[in-house]
Structure 1
Amino acid sequence: MTQTPWPAQPAITAQQEEYFNYYFDKPGSEPGTLRIDPKAIASEIVLIDYTEAEAHRYSDITPDECLTYLESPSITWIDVRGLGSEDILKKIGYLCHLHPLLLEDVVNVPQRPKIEQYGDHLLVVVQMVMPMEDADGFFMEQVGFVICPHYLLTFQEEPSRDSFEPVRSRIRDGRGRIRRSGVDYLTYALLDAVIDGFFPVLESYGERIERLEDEVIKNPTRQTLEKIYGIRRELLALRRSIWPQRNVLNSLVREHNDLISEDVQVYLRDCADHVNQLLDIIETYRELASSLTEIYMSAISNRTSEVVNLLTIISTIFIPLTFIAGVYGMNFKYMPELNWQWGYWFCWGTMGTIACALVWLFWRKGWFDGFLSNPLRETKN
C-alpha cells in the first residue's frame, strides 16, 4: 500500500437522473440480501488516516489493508466509492462486523434518509445533491455513514462527484479543529458539507424562476408551461430528499448517543438550522412556481381576449360596409343610382367615410390602446 497524492475534485458529467425512486425488496427475498446494480461503478476504497500532527491518504487499497487502521488511536475515514463490487462490500462488512441489514441499507439504493443504531455502529443515510455544470437540474445520490468508535465508513454511489472536497482539504492542510477532534466531528463536517451542497442548487433554481417570470410575461408558449411543471417536479424532489434529513439531524441532536459527544451536538444544531433554511427556500420557490402557472394561464387568456377584441373591432367596421355592398348587389332593374355617372365612386366614398369614422370613434374610446401597447405582444430578443 502506497500513499497517494490528494487529487482535485473531478469534473461532473451532466446527465438526467430519476429523482423519485426508492428501493424496495423483491417479495420473499431474504433480509440482508445485497442488490448490486449491473450499471453500478466498481467499488474503490480511499482511506484517510490522520492525527493532529499529520494526515495520510491512500487510494485503491483492499479491505484487508484497512484492517490495521480500524483499532488504531488515529482517526480513520474509509470512503467506499462505488457500489458495484459485491465481494469488496461483503469483505468490508465482515471485517467491520456490520449487521447484514446495515450493509443492505447502504448498498441497496436509493433509501429514504434515516438513522439506525446497530450495536456499536450508528448508521446515517442521507441524500446528497450537486448542480449540473452544463444543464439545468441536479445530480442526486445516496451517501451512507457508518459511525464507529475509532473510524468512519462512508458509502457513495458515484466516485466522480461529491461535496466532500472542502473537508478533505481541511484534513490535508490541518485547518480548523477537525484534526484535533474525533470521528463524531468528522461526521458533522461531512454532513454539513452535504447540507451546504443544497444551497448552490437552490440558487440556480432561483435564477431559472426569474428567467421564467420574464418569459411568462413577455412571450408565453407551450414550452414555457412544460418548463414550469419541470421546475415544480424537481423542487418536489428536493423537498422529498431534505425533509427526512431534518428528522435525521433532529435525532442526532436530541437523542443521547455514546458515539456523538455533546460538544458535537452543538454543531449539529447548526446543521439542523441550515436544513430549516433550505425547507423555507424550497417552499418559497414552490409557491413562486405555482404562481407562474397562474400567470401563464392569465397571459394566455389575455392574449385570447386581445385577439377576440381585435376581430370584434374589424367585424364591427365591416358590418355597415357589408350592408351597403349587399344593397347595391341586388339584381333590381330600376335602382336610382344604377344609371348615375358618379354612383360607383359615391358608394366607395360613403363606405370609406363610414369605415374611417368608426376607426376614429373606436380610437377615441381607447379600444385600440390595449392591443397596441399590450406587453404580451413584445418578444424577447
Structure 2
Amino acid sequence: MARFYKKRDSNKGQSPGSLIFIGNKKVRKPRIDVFDYTKDYVHEVQIKTPEELIPYKQNTSTLTWINVVGLHDTQLIEEVGTIYELHPLIQEDILNTGQRAKLEEFEGYMFVTMKMLNYDNKKHQVVSEQLSMVFGKNFLITFQERKGDVFAPIRQRIHNPSSQLRKFGTDYLVYRLMDAVVDNYVYLVENIGEQIENLELKILKNSGQEVLSAINMHKRELNFASKTMRPARDMIMRLNRQDEHFISKKTRPFLKDLLDIIVHVTETIDSYREMLSDFLNIYHTGISARLNSIMKVLTIFSTIFIPLTFIAGIYGMNFENMPELHHPMGYPIAMSAMAVVGVSILMLMKYKKWL
C-alpha cells in the first residue's frame, strides 16, 4: 500500500460515519490494556471484551487510560465507541490509517490523531503507524495499529507514586504520549541526517549511480517525514490554544515546549532537503566535469589527427603525376611532416594553456 496516500476504494459510496477499516492488518488479534490510577492507586489489566470497560467509565474518581491495539476489528472499535459515546465520524477516522494529524473538539471529549514514525534500517525507509487519542476529564483512549510503541517509559512512570503523571490530569498524560512520539521524530531526523552528512564525502569521491540513488532515497524519506510532521505541528499548535476545559494551565507550558521541539524538527528537515538539493547539483556538476574532461581528451586527439589525416589522404589518392610518391625519401619525409605537425599542435595547445 502506498505510503503517501492510502486508497479508499472500500469506502467508496458509503455514507459518512460508515465503519470500514482502511489500511493493513498488522496484528492477528486485537487487545485492550487498561491503566486505572489515582495519586495513591494503580491498577493495570488486559481485558478480553469491551463490556469490561463499563465500570471504568462509570467510576469518575480515577483516571483511566485504555489502549486498543489493532484497528482491523471494526466491531470492537464500534463497541468501544458506543460505550464512550464517540461520534460515528470519530470512529470512522480511527479506522482510516491514512488520516492526517488533526484535532477535533466534541462535547465532553477531544479527538487527536497523529503518526508515530520509525526508521527501518534494513529497508532504509520511514515506517508510519497511526495513533488516535480520545480524551475527556478522566479518561484517555488510544488506538494503535500494532503492538510495540514508544510508551514503555510512560507506563513505568505511572507505577511510580512520585511521578507527575499520578498528580496531573488526562491532558498531561496526552502531552507525555505526544512528547514520546515527537522525541522519536527527533531521533528519526538525526538518523537520516547523519546518513546525509556522510553522503557528502561519498559524492566528492564518487559520482556514480549509487550516489544518485542515495540522494533520491533520502529526499523521498524526508518528504514523507515532512508530510507527516507538519500537520502534527499544526495540531499541537491548535491544542495549545484550547481553553482550560481540556488543557489546564499546568500543562500548557509543556505543550509550548513540545511545539518548539517539533518546529525545530521540521526546520531541520527543510535544511536537510536543501542540503540534498545542493548535493544533487554537486553530483551533476561532477558528471559534467567528467564529461568535459573526456571531451577535452577526444578533442585533443581529433585536433592532432585531422591534419595528419589530411596529409595521409593526399598521398593516398595514387595519382600518376605525384613525384613524391616515387622519391626514395618520400615516406620518411611524409612521416616527419606528420610528426612536426602533431608536435606543433601540442606545443600550441600547451602555450595557450589548453592542456
Q: What TM-score, normalized by structure 2, do the two folds share?
A: 0.88
The structural deviation recorded for 1:181 is 1.9
**Deviation digits for residues 285-304 of structure 1, max 9, x if unmatched?**
22222223333333333233
Contact 1:148 1:259 in 2 (8 A): yes
Q: Please give the alpha-carbon distance, in whole angstroms, between the structure 2 residues aligned to 1:198 and 1:175.
A: 28
Q: Which runs of 5+ in 2 are unaligned?
A: none
1:348 aligns with 2:335: yes
Contact 1:34 1:108 in 2 (8 A): no
The structural deviation recorded for 1:138 is 1.0
1:47 aligns with 2:39: no
RMSD: 2.6
Contact 1:252 1:265 in 2 (8 A): no
Letter in structure 2 aligned against 1:121: Y
Contact 1:22 1:109 in 2 (8 A): no
Deviates more, 1:37-46 or 1:232-241: 37-46
1:35 aligns with 2:20: yes
Q: Please give the alpha-carbon distance, in whole angstroms, between the structure 2 residues aligned to 1:54 and 1:365.
A: 89
**Deviation digits for residues 166-192 of structure 1, max 9, x if unmatched?**
322322455742222221111110011
Q: Please give the alpha-carbon distance, in whole angstroms, between the structure 1 residues aligned to 2:346 and 2:155.
A: 74
Q: Which residue of 1 aligns with 2:279?
A: 292
Q: Please give the alpha-carbon distance, in whole angstroms, between the structure 1 residues aligned to 2:292 and 2:36.
A: 70
Q: Please give the alpha-carbon distance, in whole angstroms, between the structure 1 residues aligned to 2:172 and 2:67.
A: 16
1:269 aligns with 2:256: yes
Q: Which residue of 1 aligns with 2:182?
A: 195
Change (3 A) 1:165 1:360: farther
1:80 is aligned, of 64, 68, 71, to 68
Change (3 A) 1:309 1:149: same
Q: Please give the alpha-carbon distance, in whole angstroms, between the structure 2 residues aligned to 1:344 and 1:286.
A: 65
User: What secondary structure sits across from 2:127 in the alignment?
Assistant: strand
Contact 1:19 1:140 in 2 (8 A): no
1:280 aligns with 2:271: no
1:154 aligns with 2:155: no
The structural deviation recorded for 1:127 is 1.6
Letter in structure 2 aligned against 1:59: Q
The correspondence of residues 108-147 of structure 1 with structure 2, limited to 5 A, is 108-147=96-135
**Deviation digits for residues 254-313 of structure 1, max 9, x if unmatched?**
220412211101111111111210121111122222223333333333233222222111
Contact 2:117 2:128 in 1 (8 A): yes
Q: Please give the alpha-carbon distance, in whole angstroms, between the structure 2 residues aligned to 1:267 and 1:59.
A: 30
Q: Please give the alpha-carbon distance, in whole angstroms, between the structure 1 residues aligned to 2:161 and 2:347.
A: 81
Change (3 A) 1:342 1:166: farther
Deviates more, 1:150-159 or 1:34-43: 34-43
Change (3 A) 1:23 1:158: farther
Letter in structure 1 aligned against 2:310: F
1:20 aligns with 2:8: no
Contact 1:31 1:101 in 2 (8 A): yes
The structural deviation recorded for 1:54 is 5.2
Change (3 A) 1:220 1:270: same
The structural deviation recorded for 1:84 is 1.4
The structural deviation recorded for 1:17 is 5.8
The structural deviation recorded for 1:68 is 2.6
Q: Please give the alpha-carbon distance, in whole angstroms, between the structure 2 residues aligned to 1:328 and 1:60.
A: 101
How many residue pairs end up in the alignment?
Answer: 352
1:92 is aligned, of 76, 80, 83, to 80
Change (3 A) 1:364 1:67: farther
Q: Which runs of 5+ in 1 are unaligned?
A: 1-15, 369-381
Q: Please give the alpha-carbon distance, in whole angstroms, between the structure 1 residues aligned to 2:142 and 2:271.
A: 33
The structural deviation recorded for 1:55 is 3.7
Contact 2:74 2:95 in 1 (8 A): no
The correspondence of residues 207-356 of structure 1 with structure 2, limited to 5 A, is 207-222=194-209, 224-356=211-343
Q: Please give the alpha-carbon distance, in whole angstroms, between the structure 1 residues aligned to 2:289 and 2:212.
A: 16
Contact 1:82 1:156 in 2 (8 A): yes
Q: Please give the alpha-carbon distance, in whole angstroms, between the structure 1 residues aligned to 2:350 and 2:161.
A: 76
Q: Please give the alpha-carbon distance, in whole angstroms, between the structure 2 residues aligned to 1:106 and 1:238.
A: 21
Change (3 A) 1:23 1:76: farther
Q: Please give the alpha-carbon distance, in whole angstroms, between the structure 2 residues aligned to 1:323 and 1:176.
A: 92
Deviates more, 1:340-349 or 1:247-256: 340-349
Contact 2:165 2:173 in 1 (8 A): yes
Q: Please give the alpha-carbon distance, in whole angstroms, between the structure 1 residues aligned to 2:5 and 2:163.
A: 37
Contact 2:6 2:23 in 1 (8 A): no
Identity fraction in percent: 34
Contact 2:22 2:95 in 1 (8 A): no
Q: Please give the alpha-carbon distance, in whole angstroms, between the structure 2 residues aligned to 1:92 and 1:299.
A: 59
Contact 2:22 2:98 in 1 (8 A): no
